[in-house]
């Protein structure tokens, strides 16, 4: 007979095998982790791996040790520190959320899912994670790792995303009233370190015996997923202008839309049809002779692929414009420049290196 899965089995494993992470309290700790650190880590970990997040988390917490410090920081500084983590709406919402926690909640993060959901950038998963991990409240934490564990443990054949309600109900059935914060981290650790997508280490899994997928199917086949539609390709043009000192022209993008509020190269709109010659001429920051660098900056967003032609020119007498920032290539790392535009700058500078004149 198949023994039932239980939270106690998983917690026993977690007590010995918990990952040591800078935002996490040890198992059975009486003092919970600072909610600020839990919240910050969960926002950073969205669409990103732990290995990528660790240096960013360290940098943020050294520079802004608490939510009051982060709320008081200029948005540009936060965006610059975030550069490279991607999905920049998270950074803008991070700053908005910090301000709201300070202004509305006197610097203390709410301890209920309902109140946490009112914060900018906090969705159902993040609210449950903060409530359980930081406040030890019973909450059902569902990320991709937990979905995979539940699909295998209970042999759920329904493909994602249709399976989400069923998987949530199963996760709810296992979530204990006792040590819910440790349990939430344990089930996420299980998915991240043992019940992995391609090479699950079933032999050392604490839920080895109750796992139905291990007994009835190759666990690697679960969870099933509805095939995604092919992503469309959009096209655009970016302008890499340098002045006679070799500095690069950057401009802030509109607040709304992709990479909103971030610094980038001036350019056309992005569309599947691509810009017309008239669009290309109209979007140029200066009316001068632009040279195609002969390469495209290619980048993939959540919903589409982008192919960006890079046009280059030297501007000998830049006009004064309050929107413009002329930045030396060596100083670009000090600005919140998204990966897409870093690629475009590298292509443009590599095509025709221009050194500052004496």
CA distances from 53 to 23, 41, 229 (A): 11, 8, 29
Burial 196-234 (b: 16+ CB within 10 A, else e): eeeebeeeebbbeebbbbbeeeebeebbeeeeeeeeeeb
The H or E element containing residue 305 is strand 305-315
Sign of CA dihedral 43, 47, 51, 56: negative
Beta strand 305-315 pairing with 233-243: parallel
Q: Is 42 tagged catalytic?
A: yes
The reply to whether omega before 161 is within 30° of 0 (cis) is: yes
Look at residues 239, 16, 38 and name the one whose alpha carbon lies nearest to residue 119: 38
- Find the catalytic residue in 42, 113, 147, 296: 42
Taking each helix axis from N to C end, the angle separating 50-63 and 35-45, rounded to the nearest 10 degrees, works out to 140
| 351, 311 Cβ separation under 8 angstroms | no
The residues facing 251 across adjacent strands are 264, 324
Residues 6+ apart with CB under 8 A from 123: 117
> Cβ neighbours of residue 200 under 8 Å, at least 6 residues apart?
152, 194, 219, 220
Place of tokens 């390469």: 295
Comparing CA positions, the residue from 141, 167, 152, 159 lying closest to residue 205 is 152
Residue 315 bridge partners (DSSP) = 243
Active site residues: 42
């Amino acid at each position: 007979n198949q023994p039932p899965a239980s939270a106690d089995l998983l917690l026993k494993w977690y007590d010995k095998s918990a990952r040591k992470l800078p935002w996490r309290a040890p198992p059975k700790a009486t003092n919970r982790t600072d909610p600020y650190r839990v919240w910050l880590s969960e926002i950073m970990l969205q669409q990103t791996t732990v290995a990528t997040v660790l240096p960013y988390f360290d940098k943020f917490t050294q520079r802004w040790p608490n939510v009051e410090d982060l709320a008081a920081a200029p948005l540009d500084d936060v965006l610059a520190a975030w550069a490279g983590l991607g999905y920049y709406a998270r950074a803008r919402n991070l700053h908005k959320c910090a301000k709201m926690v300070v202004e509305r909640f006197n610097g203390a993060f709410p301890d209920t899912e309902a109140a946490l959901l009112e914060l900018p950038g906090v969705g159902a998963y993040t609210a449950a994670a903060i409530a359980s991990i930081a406040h030890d409240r019973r909450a059902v934490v569902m990320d991709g790792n937990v979905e995979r564990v539940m699909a295998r443990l209970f042999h759920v054949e329904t493909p994602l995303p249709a399976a989400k309600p069923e998987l949530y109900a199963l996760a709810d059935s296992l979530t204990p009233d006792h040590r819910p914060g440790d349990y939430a981290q344990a089930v996420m650790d299980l998915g991240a370190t043992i019940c992995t997508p391609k090479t699950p280490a079933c032999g050392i899994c604490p839920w080895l015996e109750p796992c139905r997928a291990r007994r009835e199917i190759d666990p690697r086949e679960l969870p099933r997923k509805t095939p995604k539609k092919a992503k469309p390709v959009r096209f655009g043009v970016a302008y890499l202008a340098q002045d006679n000192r070799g500095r690069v022209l950057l401009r802030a993008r509109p607040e709304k839309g992709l990479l909103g509020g971030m610094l980038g190269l001036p350019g056309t709109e992005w569309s599947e049809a691509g810009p017309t010659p008239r669009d290309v001429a109209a979007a140029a920051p200066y009316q001068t002779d632009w040279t195609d660098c002969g390469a495209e900056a290619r980048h993939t967003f959540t919903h589409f692929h982008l192919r960006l032609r890079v046009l280059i020119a030297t501007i000998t007498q830049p006009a004064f414009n309050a929107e413009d920032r002329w930045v030396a290539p060596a100083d670009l790392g000090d600005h919140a420049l998204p990966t897409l535009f870093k690629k475009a700058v590298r292509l443009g500078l590599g095509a025709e290196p221009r050194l500052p004149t004496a």
